[in-house]
Amino acid sequence: MGSSAREEARIADALRKAVLERKLAPGSKLPEEELAQIFRSNRAKIRRVLLSLSRSHIVTLEPGRGAFVSRPSPQEARDVLASRRLIEVSLLARPHRKLSTQGVTRLRRIMTQEAEAHEKHDAIAMIHVSGQFHLTLIEELGNEVLKSITEELILRMSLIITMYERHNATCCLSSDHHDLLDLLLAKKYAEASILMARHLEGIESCLDFHRDPVTTTILSQILQPVQG
């Protein structure tokens, strides 16, 4: 990876982190010129970064208006969850393959990270690590196509939870993850599928679609230059 590509990757990571940490609110405008000044870059690189983030639904590009932090609608949130149910519930009922020893180790490591995030009350880490648990399950039990689709859905879900999660709520219960792994190890696939359905319904129930977050306007107070 060349120096230009590395710089763009660091800028993209900084913007993604600011969104998922609720520093950049959904709907916030992202002017190329201002971002170029903040990141000590140029508009061409910023434009490529924003295009990349738009492909993962973190940013929305509007012709004639510019780039904005994506603001998923309640219906989009429900559609994403419905899509996850179609994949995850069905796959646990009839997995393509069994969990590998390495996969079990990875899942247990993720659950340890979840526990640490809960102890620190680190909401952003909890969202990220929870997504990694689900993605690892798909990777272990499914195939590369399902993994790719689920990876995008989980990234979009992270933004949705960031935007709509009820105050003091925990959308993805780590205790369910422990139970899911136990059921899969016992080859109780039907029970695991039922628990996954209930788990995803629980995520939807902790979202408040009436929230109307304030749009961030002063980017220079939120973002800092990235280090080379």
Q: Tell me the β-bridge partners of 66.
A: 62
Q: Is the sign of the CA dihedral 156, 162, 163, 166 positive or negative?
A: positive
Q: What is the DSSP track for 92-122?
A: HHS-SSPPPHHHHHHHHHHHHHHHHHHHTT-
Q: Which of 74-78, 93-97, 139-143, 224-228 has the lowest mean pLDDT?
A: 224-228
**pLDDT tens-digit profile of 58-85?**
899 999 999 999 999 999 999 999 999 9
The pLDDT score that the predictor gives to residue 1 is: 59
For the chain, which domains are there? 3-72+212-221 (1.10.10.10), 74-205 (1.20.120.530)
Distant-in-sequence, close-in-space partners of 1: CB < 8 Å, separation ≥ 6: 9
For residue 216, what pLDDT band results from cuts at 50, 70 and 90?
A: low
- Other beta carbons within 10 angstroms of residue 225's beta carbon come to 13
Output 186-194 pairs: Cβ under 8 A, ≥24 positions apart.
187/98, 189/92, 189/93, 189/94, 189/95, 190/93, 192/92, 192/93, 193/89, 193/90, 193/92, 193/93
User: Quick one: which of 33, 3, 7 has its CA closest to 220?
Assistant: 33
**pLDDT tens-digit profile of 77-128?**
999 999 999 999 999 999 999 999 999 999 999 999 999 998 998 877 888 8
